[in-house]
Structure formats: structure tokens, C-alpha cells
Amino acid sequence: MKLVFATHNAHKLREVQQLLPSEIELLSLDDIGCTEEIPETGETLEANAKLKADFVTKKYGLPCFSDDTGLLIDALGGAPGVYSARYAGPQKNAKDNMAKVLSELNDNDQRTAHFKTVVHLNFKGESFVFDGIVNGSIVQVAQGTNGFGYDPIFRPDGYDTTFGELSDATKNSISHRGKAIRKLASFFKNSDL
């Protein structure tokens, strides 16, 4: 079965493909020829995930899921939250985003945070929502080069290393996206493809 993941991010596509049943052929937006920027104008992660999945399903007539992820930092009142990808500006630069977070936290000892991923699936005329959360804290200095986004500054609870220092397999086993995608994968294992 062909299923569209509404992303242009090849790293995310690989990460998610590893978690889905082998009968599912995962396609990216590039694979279906969708090159336009899908507006993310929602005020919540849930709203943005729905906007992206609905756009693809309506325009291309394909089953699709989309995710939206936010880093929510307690000392920053939940920021960057829904604006995580473009926190430091519309260029969506991960290094700039991390630098802004570290600058805003500065010497603040309150560094607790969590990642949240919301997945919205359009499948056989119905919509389904799955989510995943991982708690942790923001380190003082970026560490590691694995992953993407804020991974080098986020240390998950129970670990001495950041997401940026963990292997893909370890990160997938504990991450917010991994949790949400495992719920999606479980849905497909228990449904008629």
C-alpha cells in the first residue's frame, strides 16, 4: 500500500519508514511531485498536522499522514512550541533556532522541557490522531551531530546524552515521534490495508 508522509525531510522519512509495517510503501511530498509550501497556519500542533494531511489528501487523492512536532520549554512558557521550526525566523535554520533557545535560557536553572509530536492520518475517508511525548531538559551547549532540529540541545530523562548523541535506533525507541509513529504502525497492523 502506498502512503504519503507529508514531509520533504529525507531524514524523517527514513526514521519513520523503519517503524512502519513492510507492506507500506512510504512516499514523501517529493515522491508525489508536491513542491509547494503547505501553509502551517494552525495555532496548535494538532491543527498544523491536520492542515498538511488534508492538503495532500484533497489535492492528490492519496492516503496521507502528517506530523507536527514542537519543543515546549517550561521556563519559556511553552515556547517555541508550535513555532519550533521557525523560532529564529522564516528560514527554518536549526542552528539559529538552537542558538535562540540557549540565549533565552542563558543561565536559567529551570531547563525542563518536552517534545510533543502529533500525527494526523487521513485513511479510507476517515481521520485519526496519534501523539507522543518525551520529557527531558535543555543542556547548556549543543552536543552531538545525530538527528536534526533541536536534538543536540535536548537531553531525554534517564539519559546522560542528548538526542544528538544517540543512535537513530535508540532515539526511535524513546522519542516523541517514535511513540506517535508506533501508535500509527499499531493502527495499520490492526486494520485492513
CATH of the domain at 95: 3.90.950.10
Residue 187: per-residue pLDDT? 94
pLDDT at 193: 64
Task: Answer positive or negative: Cα dihedral of 168, 121, 3, 21.
Answer: positive
42 lies in which domain range? 2-189
- Known catalytic residue: 68? yes
Question: Tell me, what's the pLDDT at 18?
Answer: 81
As for how many domains the chain has, the answer is 1
Q: What are phi and psi of 159, to 5 degrees?
A: -125, 150
Kindly state the cell numbers that stand for 140.
547548556
pLDDT of residue 37: 85
Active-site residue identified among 68, 96, 160, 168: 68
Task: Spell out the per-residue pLDDT of the chain, length 193, in tens.
Answer: 899 999 998 888 887 888 888 889 999 999 999 998 898 899 999 999 999 999 999 999 999 999 999 999 999 999 999 999 999 998 889 999 999 999 999 989 999 999 999 999 999 999 999 999 999 999 999 999 998 899 999 999 999 999 999 998 898 889 998 899 999 999 998 877 6
- Confidence (pLDDT) at 170: 92
AA letter at 70: G
